[in-house]
Amino acid sequence: MKLLAFTDIHEDKTALHSLMERAKQPDIDFLVSCGDISNFKRGLKTVLKELNSLGKKIYVVPGNHEEPENWFAQVLAGYPHWINLHLKVAKVGEYFLLGYGGGGFAMQDARFRKVAREWYGKYKEKKTVFIHHMPPFGTKLDLLKQGHVGNKDYANFIRRMKPKLAISGHLHETFGQIDAIDKTKIVNPGDKGMVIELK
Protein backbone atom coordinates (compact mmCIF):
# COMPACT_ATOMS: atom_id res chain seq x y z
CA MET A 1 0.00 0.00 0.00
CA LYS A 2 1.62 3.25 -1.15
CA LEU A 3 0.78 6.79 -0.15
CA LEU A 4 1.97 10.14 -1.46
CA ALA A 5 2.58 12.53 1.44
CA PHE A 6 3.08 16.27 1.05
CA THR A 7 2.99 19.45 3.07
CA ASP A 8 3.19 23.23 2.90
CA ILE A 9 2.58 23.80 -0.79
CA HIS A 10 1.00 27.20 0.04
CA GLU A 11 -1.05 27.28 -3.19
CA ASP A 12 2.13 26.97 -5.30
CA LYS A 13 0.91 25.89 -8.73
CA THR A 14 4.21 24.31 -9.78
CA ALA A 15 4.28 22.13 -6.67
CA LEU A 16 0.59 21.31 -7.10
CA HIS A 17 0.93 20.16 -10.70
CA SER A 18 4.01 18.10 -9.88
CA LEU A 19 2.14 16.38 -7.06
CA MET A 20 -0.83 15.72 -9.32
CA GLU A 21 1.34 14.04 -11.94
CA ARG A 22 2.80 11.69 -9.33
CA ALA A 23 -0.54 11.10 -7.63
CA LYS A 24 -2.13 10.02 -10.93
CA GLN A 25 0.14 7.00 -11.16
CA PRO A 26 -1.60 3.68 -10.43
CA ASP A 27 0.80 2.69 -7.63
CA ILE A 28 -0.42 5.53 -5.39
CA ASP A 29 -3.36 4.33 -3.28
CA PHE A 30 -4.07 7.54 -1.36
CA LEU A 31 -2.59 10.90 -0.37
CA VAL A 32 -1.71 12.51 2.94
CA SER A 33 -1.40 16.26 3.52
CA CYS A 34 0.13 17.75 6.67
CA GLY A 35 -1.46 21.16 6.10
CA ASP A 36 -0.59 24.65 4.91
CA ILE A 37 -1.99 23.92 1.47
CA SER A 38 -3.17 27.54 1.30
CA ASN A 39 -1.40 30.85 1.83
CA PHE A 40 -3.27 32.30 4.81
CA LYS A 41 -6.48 30.76 3.37
CA ARG A 42 -5.83 32.17 -0.11
CA GLY A 43 -5.91 29.62 -2.92
CA LEU A 44 -7.39 26.89 -0.73
CA LYS A 45 -10.36 26.07 -2.96
CA THR A 46 -8.15 25.89 -6.06
CA VAL A 47 -5.91 23.27 -4.44
CA LEU A 48 -8.88 21.34 -3.07
CA LYS A 49 -10.60 21.27 -6.45
CA GLU A 50 -7.51 20.22 -8.42
CA LEU A 51 -6.53 17.32 -6.17
CA ASN A 52 -10.15 16.29 -5.64
CA SER A 53 -10.35 15.69 -9.41
CA LEU A 54 -7.92 12.78 -9.07
CA GLY A 55 -10.62 10.68 -7.45
CA LYS A 56 -8.25 9.37 -4.76
CA LYS A 57 -8.71 9.88 -1.04
CA ILE A 58 -6.66 12.67 0.50
CA TYR A 59 -6.33 12.59 4.29
CA VAL A 60 -5.52 16.07 5.57
CA VAL A 61 -4.89 17.96 8.79
CA PRO A 62 -5.05 21.76 8.75
CA GLY A 63 -1.91 23.82 9.07
CA ASN A 64 -1.69 27.18 10.80
CA HIS A 65 -2.57 28.78 7.43
CA GLU A 66 -5.96 27.00 7.51
CA GLU A 67 -7.11 28.22 10.90
CA PRO A 68 -9.68 28.47 12.37
CA GLU A 69 -10.28 24.74 12.15
CA ASN A 70 -14.09 25.04 12.00
CA TRP A 71 -13.82 27.21 8.88
CA PHE A 72 -11.45 24.70 7.29
CA ALA A 73 -13.82 21.81 8.03
CA GLN A 74 -16.73 23.65 6.40
CA VAL A 75 -14.76 24.39 3.22
CA LEU A 76 -13.42 20.85 3.03
CA ALA A 77 -16.94 19.38 3.22
CA GLY A 78 -17.56 20.48 -0.38
CA TYR A 79 -14.84 18.19 -1.74
CA PRO A 80 -15.75 14.52 -1.24
CA HIS A 81 -12.30 12.99 -1.77
CA TRP A 82 -10.71 15.18 0.90
CA ILE A 83 -11.01 13.68 4.38
CA ASN A 84 -10.54 15.94 7.39
CA LEU A 85 -8.38 13.93 9.79
CA HIS A 86 -8.00 16.63 12.44
CA LEU A 87 -8.79 15.13 15.88
CA LYS A 88 -9.95 11.98 14.09
CA VAL A 89 -8.87 8.45 13.23
CA ALA A 90 -9.30 6.72 9.87
CA LYS A 91 -8.72 3.05 9.12
CA VAL A 92 -6.88 2.32 5.87
CA GLY A 93 -6.08 -1.32 5.31
CA GLU A 94 -4.49 -2.61 8.52
CA TYR A 95 -3.45 0.88 9.61
CA PHE A 96 -5.11 3.54 11.73
CA LEU A 97 -4.30 7.11 10.68
CA LEU A 98 -4.25 9.48 13.67
CA GLY A 99 -4.63 13.14 12.71
CA TYR A 100 -3.84 16.36 14.54
CA GLY A 101 -3.39 19.72 12.83
CA GLY A 102 -2.85 23.40 13.47
CA GLY A 103 -0.35 25.07 15.73
CA GLY A 104 2.50 27.45 15.23
CA PHE A 105 5.62 27.18 17.36
CA ALA A 106 4.16 26.07 20.69
CA MET A 107 6.40 23.47 22.30
CA GLN A 108 3.55 22.10 24.40
CA ASP A 109 -0.10 21.38 23.65
CA ALA A 110 -2.49 20.56 26.50
CA ARG A 111 -5.34 19.80 24.10
CA PHE A 112 -3.20 17.27 22.27
CA ARG A 113 -2.21 15.55 25.50
CA LYS A 114 -5.87 14.82 26.18
CA VAL A 115 -6.40 13.44 22.65
CA ALA A 116 -3.17 11.44 22.93
CA ARG A 117 -4.36 9.71 26.09
CA GLU A 118 -7.54 8.59 24.32
CA TRP A 119 -5.63 7.34 21.30
CA TYR A 120 -3.15 5.48 23.46
CA GLY A 121 -5.97 3.66 25.23
CA LYS A 122 -7.68 2.64 22.00
CA TYR A 123 -4.88 2.05 19.50
CA LYS A 124 -1.73 1.16 21.47
CA GLU A 125 -1.47 -2.36 20.06
CA LYS A 126 -2.57 -1.40 16.54
CA LYS A 127 -0.58 -0.39 13.47
CA THR A 128 -0.73 3.39 13.47
CA VAL A 129 0.47 6.40 11.46
CA PHE A 130 0.58 9.78 13.20
CA ILE A 131 -0.17 12.68 10.81
CA HIS A 132 0.41 16.16 12.22
CA HIS A 133 1.40 19.65 11.11
CA MET A 134 4.11 20.71 13.50
CA PRO A 135 7.21 18.49 13.89
CA PRO A 136 8.19 16.65 17.06
CA PHE A 137 10.90 18.13 19.25
CA GLY A 138 14.54 17.08 19.22
CA THR A 139 14.91 15.64 15.73
CA LYS A 140 16.25 16.57 12.30
CA LEU A 141 12.71 17.68 11.40
CA ASP A 142 12.60 20.56 13.89
CA LEU A 143 16.24 21.70 13.89
CA LEU A 144 16.78 25.31 12.79
CA LYS A 145 19.78 27.59 13.23
CA GLN A 146 18.49 28.70 16.63
CA GLY A 147 18.02 25.10 17.79
CA HIS A 148 15.10 22.68 18.10
CA VAL A 149 11.69 24.35 17.79
CA GLY A 150 9.30 21.39 17.59
CA ASN A 151 6.59 20.17 19.92
CA LYS A 152 7.63 18.13 22.97
CA ASP A 153 4.18 16.60 23.47
CA TYR A 154 4.25 15.12 19.96
CA ALA A 155 7.70 13.66 20.58
CA ASN A 156 6.57 12.14 23.88
CA PHE A 157 3.49 10.67 22.23
CA ILE A 158 5.58 9.05 19.51
CA ARG A 159 7.90 7.50 22.10
CA ARG A 160 4.96 6.13 24.05
CA MET A 161 2.62 5.14 21.21
CA LYS A 162 5.34 3.78 18.89
CA PRO A 163 3.50 4.37 15.58
CA LYS A 164 5.03 2.79 12.50
CA LEU A 165 5.35 6.23 10.92
CA ALA A 166 4.90 9.92 11.79
CA ILE A 167 4.48 12.53 9.06
CA SER A 168 4.68 16.29 9.67
CA GLY A 169 5.57 19.57 7.98
CA HIS A 170 5.46 23.25 8.95
CA LEU A 171 9.21 23.92 8.66
CA HIS A 172 10.25 24.60 5.07
CA GLU A 173 13.91 24.46 6.10
CA THR A 174 13.61 20.73 6.83
CA PHE A 175 11.69 19.64 3.72
CA GLY A 176 12.72 16.11 2.77
CA GLN A 177 14.26 15.26 6.12
CA ILE A 178 13.92 11.72 7.48
CA ASP A 179 14.73 10.71 11.04
CA ALA A 180 13.53 8.33 13.75
CA ILE A 181 12.27 8.45 17.31
CA ASP A 182 13.17 5.06 18.72
CA LYS A 183 11.81 2.70 16.04
CA THR A 184 9.31 5.16 14.56
CA LYS A 185 10.27 6.61 11.20
CA ILE A 186 9.50 10.33 11.04
CA VAL A 187 9.43 12.38 7.84
CA ASN A 188 8.82 15.88 6.52
CA PRO A 189 7.71 15.12 2.93
CA GLY A 190 7.96 18.77 1.84
CA ASP A 191 6.14 20.46 -1.01
CA LYS A 192 7.54 18.07 -3.61
CA GLY A 193 6.00 15.10 -1.84
CA MET A 194 7.31 11.74 -0.74
CA VAL A 195 6.10 8.28 -1.70
CA ILE A 196 5.93 5.95 1.30
CA GLU A 197 5.04 2.27 1.33
CA LEU A 198 3.14 0.81 4.28
CA LYS A 199 3.69 -2.91 4.65
Q: What is the 3-state secondary structure (H, E, C) of the chain?
A: CEEEEECCCCCCHHHHHHHHHHHCCCCCCEEEECCCCCECCECHHHHHHHHHCCCCCEEECCCHHHCCHHHHHHHHCCCCCEEECCCCEEEECCEEEEEECCCCCCCCCHHHHHHHHHHHHHHCCCEEEEEECCCECCCHHHEECCEECCEHHHHHHHHHHCCCEEECCCCHHHCCCEEEECCEEEECCCCCCEEEECC
pLDDT tens column, 163-183: 999 999 999 999 999 999 999
Percent of all residues in the chain with a pLDDT value above 90, rounded to a whole number = 97
pLDDT tens column, 30-59: 999 999 999 999 999 999 999 999 999 999
CATH number 3.60.21.10 given to 2-197: yes
Neighbours of 1 (CB within 10 A): 14
Distance CA 190, CA 170 (A): 9
Distance CA 192, CA 195 (A): 10
CA-nearest of 141, 143, 144 to 189 is: 141
Query: What are the structural domain ranges in the chain?
Result: 2-197
Percent of all residues in the chain with a pLDDT value above 70, rounded to a whole number = 100
Confidence of residue 24 (pLDDT cuts 50, 70, 90): very high
Number of residues written out for the chain: 199
The pLDDT score that the predictor gives to residue 170 is 97
